[in-house]
Structure 1
Amino acid sequence: METMKIEVLGTGCKKCQQLEANAREAIAALALEAEVLHITDPIEIAKRGVMSTPALAINSQVVSKGKVLTPTEIQHLLKA
């Protein structure tokens, strides 16, 4: 199976770090192979149409903007 690519889009604020931690927890809970990247470049974030951070992208598809999803919410998105 191909490795999933999870991206946390945010400038590194507390909420962004929490979202990244929650994403890692969700991946571990599902025992998935996933690469977690933290995109902090404001230009790169804006290029993806994200105006409110933190945002979460799964395989380059932005699935959440402007809120910290719980590990459980992220698990549902990963399974979708």
Structure 2
Amino acid sequence: MRLTIYGKGCSKCEKLQEYTEFAAQALGLDYELEKVTDMNQIIDAGVMHTPALAVDGEIVLEGRIGSINQITELLTSAT
């Protein structure tokens, strides 16, 4: 599973990364995490508000962090 965090590296982006990694590890997922901070790449991905999370190229969370439970549900439904 490929997980991508889109954002400029702010504290919200870092928190989303932390929660995402925690959820993925708790689920025992085999995942690869990528951080995208380049604004052109963020725009090209179709992200309008950061932070954002994509699972296998599909944006599943945008413009907010989300709770660990919400992220766990998103990752579960994507598998």
Band the TM-score falls in, shorter-chain normalisation? over 0.9
What residue identity is the alignment partner of 2:32? E
Mapping for residues 1-80 of structure 1, pairs under 5 Å: 4-80=1-77
In the superposition, the TM-score normalised over structure 1's length comes to 0.93
For residues 33-79 of structure 1, what are the alpha-carbon distances to aligned partners after superposition, in whole Å with 9 as ceiling and x for unaligned?
10111110100000111111000000000011100012211111111
Counterpart Cα distance in 1 of 2:30 and 2:66: 20
Counterpart Cα distance in 1 of 2:36 and 2:49: 13
What residue identity is the alignment partner of 2:6? L
Aligned partner of residue 46 in structure 2, secondary structure: coil
- Structure 1's unaligned 5+ residue stretches are none
Aligned partner of residue 33 in structure 1, secondary structure: coil
Counterpart Cα distance in 2 of 1:70 and 1:28: 15
What residue identity is the alignment partner of 2:22? E
